[in-house]
Structure 1
Amino acid sequence: MESNDVILKKLNQLEILIVSTAKQILTVDDLINYTGFSRSYIYKLVHKSIIPYSKPNGKTLFFQKNEIDEWLLQNKSNSISQIEQKAIDYTTFKK
């Protein structure tokens, strides 16, 4: 019986995740499910204006999924092989 409860809980989590990722405009709850960040961390990011958000009615927070994706992927770090390839390209084509 306990395993059924675990399965139902996991199915519910999957449903929430699928619905959240299909949306283009996210609420705080959607953003929690999408990023895995805690509610307090999201509010901290908003308070410090670190994360892009909208507050059209002065109370409810909304986030554009494409802006969140861009924000999540900023400050990308190159792998060692990418750095080595850039060095080879630079020395080859610099001449």
Structure 2
Amino acid sequence: MEKNEIILHKLNRIEKHIFGLKTIFNVEELSDYTGFKKSYIYKLVHENLIPFSKPNGKILFFDRKKIDEFLLQNANKSKEEINREAIEFSLKNKI
């Protein structure tokens, strides 16, 4: 790897680390964070499907914690989790 490539690679890693410390995102940062296209984010906002703030009436902001909750909603359980819950349920309700 060339020296310039190494430097760019290290800068990219630092940028990602710093980005991970942010708690509030704008649309572009949210796009980077989620991998969603900006047009899809605007669609989610328009349909009130994603939590957002618009403090000045123009610029959109997104709380990272709320976005993480949004991204993790409707989670599916693994077979192992379902089996464990079924066993716990049957042991608890054994007569």
Q: 1:24 to 1:57 in 2, by over 3 A?
A: same
8 Å contact 1:53–1:64 — kept in the other structure? yes
Of 15-24 and 26-35, deviating more is 15-24
The residue that corresponds to 1:30 in the other structure is: 29
Q: 1:65 to 1:43 in 2, by over 3 A?
A: same
The residue that corresponds to 1:77 in the other structure is: 76
% identical equivalent positions: 48
TM-score norm. by structure 2 comes to 0.83
SS of the aligned residue for 2:65 comes to helix
Structure 2: gaps (5+ residues): none
| CA distance in structure 1 between the partners assigned to 2:78 and 2:17 by the alignment | 31
Structure 1: gaps (5+ residues): none
8 Å contact 1:32–1:38 — kept in the other structure? yes
